[in-house]
Amino acid sequence: MKKRILILLLLIVSYGFSQSVNDFKSVIIPLKFDFTKVENQYRLATLSKFNLNKAGFEAYYTNETTGSEFNNRCSLLYFDVVKEKSFLTTKLHILFKDCNEKIIFQSVTGISKEKEFQLAYTEALSKAFVSVFALNHKYNGIGVTNTQQAIVMTAVPVTIPSKSSTETNSIDKNNTNLFYAQPVTNGFQLVDSSPKVVMKVFKTSKVNCYIAVKGNTQGVLVAKDNQWFFEYYLNDSLISEKIDVKF
């Protein structure tokens, strides 16, 4: 009886999310999750890629070279495993997110009572994948374009640090190109003094370079001579815009 109820719940979950998930062909997998200390600890990344391919996705690690079709990062799903707080058990659930950090799908929680870590994490993740398999993922060929995934961000309240001098306040107020960085998963969102989110930047392997998304424009935020520049291509021409960011 319990098994039938679980299957019914999984089908309901599948119905609620399958349309959105089917818009995506490929999934990007991090080698290290927030709760792990080293890359591929407990072989979670390896197991995730194996199961995602089995579930019908094209799965890639973050450090793998992908084809030109992946130049649009909003055409990709981003995979994550979350560890839930628990006593004497290991609980994990899976998240699929889009390029704007919106959750497209959340799995059921996989639970293991195994005491040995490797067995516990493997069992819990495998149980969480049951609901991923229940999605019966099949890419619909439509894909997700930059226009469809244009960043629609709700302004997040921000406390702007008080300045130590009236002069500094005056400079900041008159500088309409001054942004404040607020931490988000894998990077920052840049807000102005409204506050309004105007850009999202995502970490790369270099501390002075971020993948940057501003509206429908994708480029990089790069530091040069202690100044930040938003660089992107427009009609095959490289555009470099100087911006002021307070991290």
- CB within 8 Å of 104: residues ≥ 6 apart: 17, 20, 21, 24, 77, 96, 97, 98
Share of the chain above pLDDT 90, in %: 34
Assign 3-class secondary structure to 108-135: CCEEECCCCHHHHHHHHHHHHHHHHHCC
- Six token digits for residue 152: 């629609």
User: Mean per-residue pLDDT for 176-180?
Assistant: 75
CB of 111 within 8 A of CB of 124? yes
**Residue-level pLDDT at 16:** 41
- 27 pLDDT higher than 90: yes
pTM greater than 0.85 (yes/no): no
- Six token digits for residue 85: 């707080």
Of residues 144 and 235, more confidently modeled: 235
- 13 pLDDT higher than 70: no
In DSSP terms, which residues pair with 226 in a beta bridge?
Answer: none
pLDDT digits 0-9 by tens, 192-221? 877 788 888 888 877 788 888 888 788 888
Assign 3-class secondary structure to 206-239: CCCEEEEEECCEEEEEEEECCEEEEEEEECCEEE
For residues 62 and 39, what is the distance between their CA atoms, to the nearest angstrom? 11
Average per-residue pLDDT for the chain: 78
pLDDT digits 0-9 by tens, 71-116? 678 888 999 999 999 889 999 999 999 888 888 899 999 999 999 9
Amino acid at 158: V
- 26 pLDDT higher than 80: yes
